[in-house]
Structure 1
């Protein structure tokens, strides 16, 4: 056998192994990804029903979910080092089942804060799920990484349909305790994910310190204070926070404020989540062709259009149209911002920078979900959409400033 033949066989073997893991991770993503749509479809309305006269805390359980996602981003890294990524993902799925049980029990007991705790536990599972895309990329040769990520995004599209449909089928299953069935449905869902994850064959990654072939590992402070990182992080956080701010309040505004059925609100979330993931198959190509900054700017403009549609009226098409545009704007804005952030650090600096970024990101998202209920109760749906304008304009100014600064530095 020649050296070239040996090399070719090695690549084929690596590709087969990568595809095996990626297909399993995609299936796990499709199943575990249902947690978010289920929680956001009914969590706010269920919280609203558990409260007394003061309804301003209705979205606090959803805040608990987002706090859990932030905690999960930290826990999954620590648990991966201790147990390996395969076992860490299985523990995360088990937490998802446990969170569903706690949330359902809280609804039977009419315990608002226990319900928030259940959603927080489910959020931690969501934080673990967020790392599946990194595991798919890490398990793949460099030439296969983009396709691996696309497969994971395809799993997200399945979740976008499966989650809301589970809500529609199970929300009245344990009547007269409404919505408890939707959270009980997380148990077999997460157990199925554990069965899928058990077949993974992932190698463990070790942290890099000191000096590498790419140069010395820079201190975190030096990286995060660069204009490029700050611009990408602020735009990404703003995009994600605005999306959460409006999405969290939308089901309550539709069901409680405008009298639409829970099924209509759930389908609105389904279309929203589909709009979040579906463009991902070509967003990366747009970033490559036009640049991340232009893609982010496009996403911000779409968010402005979302605010216009939401402000135009309270018919069903206004809510659904705004939610679809909200998902599209998030996709362009967040993926483009992630590309800006990723270009600000070296590969061997990725773990600490990604960890820092995700903690700040999901902490901001948690505050946005909490503020959504307060603003919706005090000022109504129109004020949620009005918040889009100052944030998007500020981010556009940051992008223009970055473009000017980098153009001056270029020869």
Structure 2
């Protein structure tokens, strides 16, 4: 047997930092082929191969020639156990720089990386939380000891810990729409911090809990400097989708507009009815906004959308030049684009919607299983 001290584990956070620093890494994914093809770790300097664990139980000879000798190698599985076993076999076979992903794809799916987007005009800042393995983006607006969290995911400890370390109190949590690809943590975060939970009322017809209505004409203030978060009704992804303008600088677009694509209208079974809403939002409502607003979406599709230090953002005026979803002038062609040949719908999206309505309360394990897989809120991949 090998010396157990030789076997090293790598956390999802450590892997994220390596990827954001463009450090090369070789990944051996030992999940089954269908799971691998559906969802895998991707990065600019990541090379990845798939060899199912069950093909390696009796030995790793079949992959030895594929494993580099002078590069960091990370073995990945769903939860950790299989990758540790395979990593041990590789070390016994003489390979070096071998580690395994602690917690497997489970931990990769749940890791959030905080990235500063920028400063606010009268003090304060806006932070983007990148859920790198799932493509979700959450935000914290901080001003004078107070904070608002927008589109929080269910790992609420991350937001609470960040607020505590930065000596701020979370006063508001806001969902730009009723999410279908991940379980919202907004309501739970508001409950644990004593904050107010906001949700667009047109998405809340079936919810089983109290909330504050997020709608045009209201302004949410954060801190004594009165950093305003102004709601902008922007239906299309859902009937209630509502964007936020923060500090006259940032447009939090929810799942309406992404850096490389646009939102899909079909996740509540209303695609035919919501196509015109989506087009009106993107081609009329957003057109009336300042081109200098920095768009901050609620998701990204591919690792290539991450910019400096992992930021996901773009100037609105630039998106009108470069985003293909904003340059379909024919209405019929637009309808076809957003209703036909769409990517697969998110895993368990109906159950996720019911969870976010408060209709069902799944266990922690069930919640992870419901969220397994990539982000699929866009019309097409980046």
Q: TM-score, length-normalised on structure 1?
A: 0.24
* Structure number with higher strand proportion: 2
Q: TM-score, length-normalised on structure 2?
A: 0.25
Higher relative contact order (CA 8 A, sep 6+): 1
